[in-house]
């Protein structure tokens, strides 16, 4: 006989129609004369033929009877208190004992959590939503919570219930979040959310806040514990907290983990030493498995350290289903991709980078997301994360959807996600992809395909405010980090603080410099005399933003050729041009980023499906170019004049920028407080100059500390025999000058010797 429950309530449970199964299922007290003397226990067990309630403390069993449905069970127990009961169930020929999820009513999410989330201000919402190990009333399990306000019902499906959405129906809190605790499951459990809309359509979704995911093409989320790893980078983190990266050397090696090197390929050769040869590479294999995070830590970190870079930048590391997207179409925003290992493995990789003096930057993609069925698209049967209007919610040329930055919960999802990678994985910075696509409503859209803002303009005011919030939050929690914008337009104050009205980034990629320099170096040197402004124009606007000079992956794909292939002339001139380009880049104000393979002169474009062409390093010109980059980074890091005043007007001064007839520019780089300076002279033609006079500010011996034409780099070895004394010969409006030998397609860096005076 049924007690209290009605046929309609049973019908709702059986057909997944109830917004709060706890109202029907689980244990409920029965009062008589104001006292609880009995309890009724109800369970919906779709695959069960018989069931009993077990009270472990009393070692008693109570048979359950069916009510209104052959799989809806209940029983009444004469007891005043009921805790931690179990169910013994028969499923076919099998029998098992389980804890009932509906016996645990405690919630990890408080009303205040939900309030902050609704406001868009719950910075660590990832500690509440998603799947979290928990212990309730002494029983261990996993607490699940998902935002799906427009769903009719949500269930958790996984290996633990044979992917049957009838078993673990969730309850709805505050009309926005669904939650349920499932006992006796733990780390490694695979799961998804089965979401039904009001029309009865079913969507099986990965967890938007899931910490791990199956290796593609599988798409289930995996329960993970992000607090089990023991970090050993406290010194690095403390030093970072008190540092200002804008006054430090920042030289970034950008790479894609999946195509840097595969497991069956030979290891990348080391630089030549005085005692031995570089290790030859006999073969490389495009079909091999990926290196794991552990293997990458062993191979990649020593390689990048040897080259002298300060940071590694990873193309998007968040989970993505399609290798060919390079990671830029993300489905698992809180999960490091499982291609290379589990979350703890990635923590180890970052930890090892820090212990070896390398910072870790990751590309972050809040501008769009793919339409894959298991992802965020149409998540609860409605346009939840994306705009419903395709004029605002879709990038047609990319086939992706655009986040609704004006919705508090969506903005909270993204802000918390940015913070998450700093919090849980100790990363040192983000490079935000495709910022221009976020800032402009008409980005890659024709007239009639976009909607103006409330003032009739094309600026996406909601996206701009979102970016300000992201940067304000991450810098508030983690001073000393980097937030870099890939922004290609003239949007003002991208790298200005939010309190001044800026977007709050501390660096912006200088796309104008990149295009000007590649156009300039791509032309025959004879024609460069007519395009001197390509070299000099960047200094007209250099102080408007904090710029990073980047020659990235985008410049070596889609028919653009790799860097050395862009250069004119014979093979010698191509290598010399590359050395001149990067020497100018590293002496020009701004932080630096370059993509993998440029350091040894790969000829072919980047191929995401294969390895870099490590075999080239058995040839001397490529070995020499690699040595050049190692020395260039060493010079950059050792000279404060090259990095302490990248963004102030006192850090750079032209000596002569008007010698277009020779395609020569010369300038000074000053350190803070004008304590040290360097003289940089660049000759961008193959014509050497045996007597080229350059004005200098002080008398003394000017030591040649770097020469891109040195013989050890494959150059012609022209130079100044270690340096030149100044002469009291006024030139370039300066009281002193030096008479230099300028090598062909060469860049010289000179520094006055503190122990030698010309007076």
Q: Which residue has the higher pLDDT, 397 or 118?
A: 118
Contact (Cβ atoms closer than 8 angstroms) between residue 749 and residue 678:
yes
The residue among 73, 99, 125 that closes a domain is 99
Tally of domains in the chain: 4
Question: Angle at Cα 282 formed by Cα 278 and Cα 288, nearest 5°?
Answer: 115
Same domain, 654 and 698: yes
Contact (Cβ atoms closer than 8 angstroms) between residue 522 and residue 530:
no
What's the pTM value of the predicted model, to 2 decimals? 0.93
Same domain, 87 and 123: no
On the question of pLDDT at 224 being above 80, the answer is yes
Q: Tell me the C-alpha distance between 377 and 399, whole Å.
A: 12
Report residue 658: phi and psi, to 5°: -110, 5
Task: State the burial class of residue 81 (Cβ atoms within 10 Å of its Cβ: 0-12, 13-18, 19+).
Answer: exposed
Same domain, 85 and 119: no
Contact (Cβ atoms closer than 8 angstroms) between residue 375 and residue 323:
no
Please state the three-class secondary structure of 189-221 as a single string.
CEEEEEEECCCCCEEEECCCCCCCECCCCCCCE
Smallest CA-to-CA distance from 109 within 97, 127, 123, 92 is with: 127
Mean pLDDT of 583-598: 98
Same domain, 68 and 127: no
The CA distances from residue 315 to 30, 318, 363, 432, 554, in Å, are: 59, 9, 5, 11, 11
**pLDDT value at position 278?**
34
**pLDDT value at position 105?**
87
Tell me which residue has tokens 């080391």. Answer: 270
Domain harbouring 476, CATH code? 3.20.20.80
Residue 367 lies in a domain: yes
Q: Tell me the C-alpha distance between 568 and 550, whole Å.
A: 21
C-alpha R_g of the chain: 32
Confidence of residue 496 (pLDDT cuts 50, 70, 90): very high
Domain harbouring 158, CATH code? 2.60.40.10
Residue 609 lies in a domain: no
Confidence of residue 126 (pLDDT cuts 50, 70, 90): very high
Same domain, 176 and 261: no
Confidence of residue 31 (pLDDT cuts 50, 70, 90): confident
pLDDT in tens, 652-698: 999 999 999 999 999 999 998 788 999 999 999 999 999 999 999 99
Mean pLDDT of 505-520: 97
Residue 501 lies in a domain: no
| Residue 40 belongs to domain spanning | 7-99
Residue 610 lies in a domain: no
Q: Say which of 179, 433, 599, 611 is annotated catalytic.
A: 433
**pLDDT value at position 269?**
46
CB count in 10 Å sphere of residue 440: 18
The residue among 36, 71, 99 that closes a domain is 99
**pLDDT value at position 57?**
77
Same domain, 306 and 399: yes
Cβ-proximal residues to 320 (8 Å cutoff; 6+ apart), any chain: 216, 327, 328, 329, 330, 331, 332, 337, 370
Confidence of residue 442 (pLDDT cuts 50, 70, 90): very high
Q: H or E segment at 183? A: strand 177-183
pLDDT in tens, 264-275: 755 554 433 333
**Beta bridge partners of residue 429, listed in sequence order:** 361, 482
Between helix 620-638 and helix 571-587 the angle, nearest 10°, is 10
Contact (Cβ atoms closer than 8 angstroms) between residue 63 and residue 54:
no
Q: Tell me the C-alpha distance between 751 and 753, whole Å.
A: 6
**pLDDT value at position 273?**
34
CB count in 10 Å sphere of residue 228: 11
Cβ-proximal residues to 142 (8 Å cutoff; 6+ apart), any chain: 131, 132, 133, 134, 181, 182, 185, 186, 189, 223
Report the SS3 class of residue 143. Answer: strand
Report residue 31: phi and psi, to 5°: -95, 140
On the question of pLDDT at 434 being above 70, the answer is yes
Same domain, 124 and 73: no
Q: H or E segment at 661? A: none
Residue 737 lies in a domain: yes
On the question of pLDDT at 633 being above 70, the answer is yes
The residue among 163, 195, 223 that closes a domain is 223
Contact (Cβ atoms closer than 8 angstroms) between residue 642 and residue 636:
yes
Same domain, 461 and 364: yes
**Choice among 103-117, 124-138, 580-594 with the minimum mean pLDDT:** 103-117
**Beta bridge partners of residue 666, listed in sequence order:** 656, 681
Q: Tell me the C-alpha distance between 389 and 687, whole Å.
A: 59
Same domain, 387 and 257: yes
Strands, E assignment, 498-538 = 507-509
**Choice among 28-42, 137-151, 230-244, 341-355 with the minimum mean pLDDT:** 28-42
Confidence of residue 35 (pLDDT cuts 50, 70, 90): confident
Smallest CA-to-CA distance from 470 within 485, 487, 459, 458 is with: 485
Q: Say which of 345, 351, 363, 486 is annotated catalytic.
A: 486
pLDDT in tens, 709-756: 999 999 999 999 999 999 999 999 999 999 999 999 999 999 999 875
**pLDDT value at position 267?**
54
Tell me which residue has tokens 């769903």. Answer: 151
Same domain, 193 and 249: no
Polymer length in residues for the chain = 759
Tell me which residue has tokens 């918390």. Answer: 416
**Choice among 16-20, 411-415, 420-424 with the minimum mean pLDDT:** 16-20
**pLDDT value at position 756?**
58
Q: What is the mean pLDDT of the chain?
A: 93
Mean pLDDT of 337-350: 97
Mean pLDDT of 390-404: 92
On the question of pLDDT at 604 being above 80, the answer is yes
Going by the DSSP 8-state scheme, the letter that residue 640 receives in this structure is G
Longest dimension (CA), the chain: 111
pLDDT in tens, 68-113: 999 999 999 988 888 889 999 999 889 999 999 999 987 789 999 9
Residue 508 lies in a domain: no
**pLDDT value at position 2?**
46
On the question of pLDDT at 643 being above 80, the answer is yes
On the question of pLDDT at 301 being above 60, the answer is yes
Residue 233 lies in a domain: no
Residue 478 lies in a domain: yes
Dihedral of CA 513/518/520/521: which sign?
positive
**pLDDT value at position 170?**
96
CB count in 10 Å sphere of residue 518: 18
Same domain, 138 and 84: no
Same domain, 257 and 191: no
423 among known catalytic residues: no
pLDDT in tens, 538-561: 999 999 999 999 999 999 999 999
On the question of pLDDT at 225 being above 70, the answer is yes
Domain harbouring 667, CATH code? 2.60.40.1180
Task: Encode 395-409: b = buried (16+ Cβ within 10 Å), e = exposed.
Answer: beebebbbbbbbbeb
Smallest CA-to-CA distance from 53 within 44, 40, 62, 42 is with: 62
486 among known catalytic residues: yes
Percent of the chain with pLDDT over 90: 87
């Amino acid at each position: 006989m049924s007690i209290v429950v009605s046929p309609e309530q049973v019908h709702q449970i059986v057909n997944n129609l109830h917004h709060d199964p706890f109202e029907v299922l689980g244990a409920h007290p029965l009062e008589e004369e104001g006292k609880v003397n009995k309890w009724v226990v109800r369970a919906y067990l779709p695959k069960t033929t018989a069931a009993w309630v077990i009270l472990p403390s009393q070692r008693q069993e109570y048979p359950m009877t069916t009510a209104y449905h052959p799989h809806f069970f209940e029983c009444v127990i004469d007891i005043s208190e009921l805790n931690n009961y179990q169910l013994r169930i028969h499923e076919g020929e099998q029998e098992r004992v389980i804890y009932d999820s509906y016996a645990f009513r405690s919630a990890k999410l408080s009303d205040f959590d939900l309030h902050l989330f609704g406001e868009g201000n719950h910075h660590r919402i990832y500690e509440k939503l998603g799947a979290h190990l928990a212990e309730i009333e002494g029983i261990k399990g996993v607490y699940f919570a998902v935002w799906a306000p427009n769903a009719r019902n949500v269930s958790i499906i996984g290996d633990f219930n044979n992917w049957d959405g009838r078993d673990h129906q969730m309850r709805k809190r505050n009309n926005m979040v669904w939650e349920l605790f499932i006992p006796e499951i733990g780390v490694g459990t695979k799961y998804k959310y089965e979401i039904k809309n009001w029309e009865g359509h079913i969507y099986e979704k990965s967890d938007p806040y899931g910490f791990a995911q199956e290796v593609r093409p599988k798409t289930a989320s995996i329960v993970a514990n992000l607090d089990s790893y023991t970090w050993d980078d406290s010194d690095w983190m403390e030093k970072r907290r008190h540092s200002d990266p804008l006054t430090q050397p920042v030289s970034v090696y950008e790479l894609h983990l999946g195509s840097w090197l595969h497991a069956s390929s030979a290891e990348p050769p080391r630089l030549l030493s005085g005692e031995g040869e570089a290790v030859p590479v006999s073969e490389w294999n495009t079909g091999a498995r990926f290196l794991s995070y552990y293997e990458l830590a062993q191979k990649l970190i020593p390689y990048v350290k040897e080259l002298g870079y300060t940071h590694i930048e990873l193309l998007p590391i968040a989970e993505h289903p399609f290798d060919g997207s390079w990671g830029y179409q993300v489905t698992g925003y809180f999960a490091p991709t499982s291609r290379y290992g589990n979350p703890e493995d990635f923590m180890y990789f970052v930890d090892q980078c820090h212990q070896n003096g390398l910072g870790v930057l990751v590309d972050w993609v809040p501008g769009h997301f793919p339409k894959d069925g298991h992802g965020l698209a149409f998540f609860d049967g409605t346009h939840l994360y994306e705009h419903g209007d395709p004029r605002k919610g879709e990038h047609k040329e990319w086939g992706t959807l655009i986040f609704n930055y004006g919705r508090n919960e969506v903005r909270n999802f993204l802000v918390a996600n940015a913070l998450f990678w700093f919090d849980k994985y100790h990363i040192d910075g983000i490079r935000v992809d495709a910022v221009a696509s976020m800032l402009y409503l008409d980005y890659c859209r024709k007239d009639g395909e976009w909607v103006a803002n409330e003032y009739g303009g094309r600026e996406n005011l909601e996206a701009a405010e979102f970016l300000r919030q992201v940067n304000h939050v991450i810098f508030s929690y983690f001073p000393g980090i980097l937030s870099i914008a890939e922004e290609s337009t003239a949007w003002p104050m991208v790298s200005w603080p939010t309190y001044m009205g800026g977007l709050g980034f501390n660096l912006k990629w200088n796309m104008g410099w990149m295009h000007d320099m590649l156009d300039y170096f791509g032309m025959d040197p004879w024609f460069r005399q007519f395009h001197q402004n390509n070299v000099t124009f960047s200094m007209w606007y250099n102080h408007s933003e904090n710029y990073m000079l980047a020659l990235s992956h985008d410049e070596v794909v889609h028919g653009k050729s790799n860097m050395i292939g862009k250069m004119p002339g014979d093979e010698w001139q191509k290598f010399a041009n590359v050395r001149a380009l990067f020497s100018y880049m590293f002496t020009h104000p701004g932080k630096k980023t370059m993509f993998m393979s440029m350091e040894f002169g790969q000829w072919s474009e980047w191929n995401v499906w294969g390895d870099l062409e490590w075999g080239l390093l058995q040839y001397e010109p490529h070995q020499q170019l690699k040595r050049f980059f190692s020395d260039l980074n060493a010079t950059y890091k050792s000279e404060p004049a090259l990095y302490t005043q990248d963004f102030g007007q006192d850090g750079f001064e032209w000596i002569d920028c008007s010698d277009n007839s020779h395609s020569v520019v010369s300038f000074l780089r000053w350190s803070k407080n004008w304590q040290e300076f360097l003289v940089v002279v660049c000759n961008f033609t193959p014509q050497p100059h045996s007597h080229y006079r350059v004005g200098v500010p002080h008398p003394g011996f000017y030591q040649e500390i770097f020469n891109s034409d040195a013989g050890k780099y494959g150059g012609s070895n022209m130079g100044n025999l270690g340096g030149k004394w100044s002469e009291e010969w006024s030139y370039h409006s300066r009281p002193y000058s030096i008479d230099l030998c300028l090598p062909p397609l060469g860049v010289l860096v000179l520094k006055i010797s503190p122990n030698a005076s010309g007076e």
